[in-house]
């Protein structure tokens, strides 16, 4: 289906789908088992121009739209949700934040690297700061022309692979959320290290790690945006990032649905393919319908963002619905596979495991509902 795509967008989708099928898919099972992202694949993501989709060509990017970035995330996630979120965080969070809040010197220094060689990470969450995102304990104390960071971060996506980190810390605890500031921290900065890697249920090849800051000195020139305005950077970037997660959920669900349809045509019972049975047909039809509805929500939110129109409510709706639909579609796919679906020999158990995170990260489903409620009630 075209889904109202332009010819260029459709060609882009087809190119990424072919890349995902031929280059990503052969590594998926091994990466999931080993809980490690293939370094060669990351290099290919850069070579394909998938790590700086919105970055202007003058900075080494491809100069395409946010919507196009979402198409890439969807198509890669159709094969592997872990690879999908690596590309998603790079584009919809890290690059987006730098494009919007970085000064010209920071853009010139970092955008070319992020488009061609450096993976980025977005570092907000802490052990006491989940849905209450701004109860940060990580501190940044000003000393001369530098800030000294102390504390730790948890659940940081891409942490093992990243060379560029956007870190949120509090410069004035008494100011509450108005004391939060965003800093750019490079890998290898003294006092900064990557800690424990989480052993996760799904998207296992995507690294999720703790970050440690022990008297980590960061030049004041590495502040992203303004001192005390980090909360604004975080909120507005996450609103965009939620659309990207919606795209990831679409891809995972589409991969599971495609697998279920294919299996139903080849699996025979009582002398005919199970796809001939109305019960199976209705399960697949229900999945396809819910997925299409979620896709339209995600695409609408992405189009609104590109058009510079308000999209807060639409982004929340897109993430909430796509994550719910993803879990439903993947669960139904296992039902279609029957006992085989419960084994690692077939792909749908992984799709099911990868689906659950969508209702948790970058704002839980309850937080999305709260955002939607505020928007419609006032």
Q: Which of 1-5, 95-99, 145-149, 217-221 has the lowest mean pLDDT?
A: 1-5
DSSP lists the bridge partners of residue 112 as none
For the stretch 268-312, pLDDT in tens is 999 999 999 999 999 999 999 999 999 999 999 999 999 999 999
**134 pLDDT higher than 90:** no
- Residue 326 CA neighbour count, 13 Å, CB half: 35
For the stretch 36-54, pLDDT in tens is 999 999 999 999 999 999 9
| Residue 267 and residue 276 in contact, taking contact as beta carbons nearer than 8 Å | no
User: What CA–CA distance (Å, rounded) separates 150 from 10?
Assistant: 47
- pLDDT value of residue 2: 59
Residue of 54, 210, 240, 362 marked catalytic: 362
For the stretch 49-88, pLDDT in tens is 999 999 999 999 999 999 999 999 999 999 999 999 999 9
CATH number of 122-230: 2.40.110.10
Query: What pTM does this model have?
Result: 0.97
- Residue 304 CA neighbour count, 13 Å, CB half: 18
- pLDDT value of residue 130: 79
| Residue 173 and residue 161 in contact, taking contact as beta carbons nearer than 8 Å | no
Question: Does 240 qualify as catalytic in the annotation?
Answer: no
User: What CA–CA distance (Å, rounded) separates 151 from 141?
Assistant: 11
- Please state the CATH superfamily assignment of the domain spanning residues 231-377 in this structure: Butyryl-CoA Dehydrogenase, subunit A, domain 3 (1.20.140.10)
Strands 146-157 and 192-197: unpaired
* Residue 5: pLDDT band with limits 50, 70, 90: very high
**Per CATH, which fold does 7-118 belong to?**
Butyryl-Coa Dehydrogenase, subunit A; domain 1 (1.10.540)
- pLDDT value of residue 128: 85
H helices within the chain, ranges in order? Answer: 7-19, 28-34, 39-47, 66-77, 81-88, 96-101, 104-116, 230-266, 278-306, 312-337, 348-355, 365-377
Sequence ranges of the domains in the chain? 7-118, 122-230, 231-377
Answer yes or no: same fold for 7-118 and 122-230.
no
- pLDDT value of residue 129: 85
């Amino acid at each position: 289906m075209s889904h109202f795509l332009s010819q260029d967008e459709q060609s882009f989708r087809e190119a990424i789908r072919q890349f995902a099928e031929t280059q990503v898919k052969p590594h998926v099972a091994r990466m999931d088992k080993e809980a490690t992202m293939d370094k060669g694949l990351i290099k290919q993501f850069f070579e394909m121009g998938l790590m700086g989709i919105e970055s202007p060509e003058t900075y080494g990017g491809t100069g395409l739209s946010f919507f196009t970035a979402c198409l890439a995330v969807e198509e890669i996630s159709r094969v592997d949700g872990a690879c999908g979120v690596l590309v998603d965080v790079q584009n919809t969070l890290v690059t987006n934040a730098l494009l919007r809040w970085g000064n010209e010197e920071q853009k010139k220094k970092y955008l070319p690297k992020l488009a061609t060689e450096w993976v980025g990470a977005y570092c907000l969450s802490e052990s006491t700061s989940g849905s209450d995102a701004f109860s940060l304990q990580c501190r940044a104390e000003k000393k001369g022309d530098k800030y000294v960071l102390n504390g730790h971060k948890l659940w940081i996506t891409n942490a093992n692979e990243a060379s560029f980190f956007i870190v949120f810390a509090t410069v004035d605890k008494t100011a509450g959320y108005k004391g939060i500031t965003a800093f750019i921290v490079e890998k290898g900065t003294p006092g900064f290290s990557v800690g424990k890697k989480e052993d996760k249920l799904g998207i296992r090849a995507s690294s999720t790690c703790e970050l440690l800051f022990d008297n980590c000195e960061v030049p004041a020139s590495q502040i992203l945006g303004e001192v005390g305005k980090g909360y604004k950077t975080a909120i507005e970037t996450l609103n965009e990032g939620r659309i990207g997660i919606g795209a990831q959920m679409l891809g995972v669900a589409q991969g599971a649905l495609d697998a279920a349809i294919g299996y139903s045509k080849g699996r025979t019972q009582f002398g005919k393919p199970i796809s001939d049975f109305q019960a199976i047909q209705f399960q697949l039809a229900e999945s396809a319908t819910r997925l299409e509805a979620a896709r339209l929500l995600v695409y609408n939110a992405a189009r609104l963002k590109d058009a510079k129109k308000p999209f807060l409510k639409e982004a929340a709706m897109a993430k909430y619905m796509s994550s719910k639909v993803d879990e439903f579609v993947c669960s139904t796919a296992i039902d279609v596979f029957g006992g085989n679906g419960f084994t690692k020999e077939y792909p749908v158990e992984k799709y099911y495991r990868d689906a659950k995170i969508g209702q948790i990260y970058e704002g839980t489903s309850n937080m999305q509902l709260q955002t939607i409620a505020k928007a419609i009630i006032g």
